[in-house]
Amino acid sequence: MSNTRTARVHELNLYRRYFDLVAVGRKTIEVRVKYPHLADMTAGDTIRFRTKDTDETCDVRVLRVTEYPDFEALLDGEGPANVNPAADREQQLANIRSIYSPEKEALGALAIEIELIGE
């Protein structure tokens, strides 16, 4: 009996401003709430990012998934420039919290280290 698992493809939506940073390789840490459907994401998986209401996609390989208790700890642990090189820490925290409610943040935060596939 083997413990090997097949790498999965996770399809996730991404706002245009973040999609563009991922597509050029400038954003290397994706931030997500630890939803049950993401709990089994692991290194080697693929994420196919899609911008809402478009057919544009960008595939990245998951290098690492690290769990944090909240978004502040995540930004401190990963470095704000890796999450979004176009905004400072306080602006990023405000942006993330405008997307996710305190109830969702309470589920935990995931820092997903990514790299473009085919680069």
Average pLDDT rounded to a whole number, residues 101-111:
97
Domain boundaries, the chain: 9-116
Of the options 3.40.50.150, 3.90.1720.10, 3.40.640.10, 2.30.130.30, the CATH number for the domain spanning 9-116: 2.30.130.30
Q: What is the pTM of this model?
A: 0.91
Give the confidence band of 48 by pLDDT, cuts at 50, 70, 90.
Answer: very high
* 3-class secondary structure per residue, the chain: CCCCCCCCEEEEEECHHHHHHHHCCCCCEEEEECCHHHCCCCCCCEEEEEECCCCCEEEEEEEEEEEECCHHHHHHHHCHHHHCCCCCHHHHHHHHHHHCCHHHHCCCEEEEEEEECCC
pLDDT tens-digit profile of 64-85? 999 999 999 999 999 999 999 9
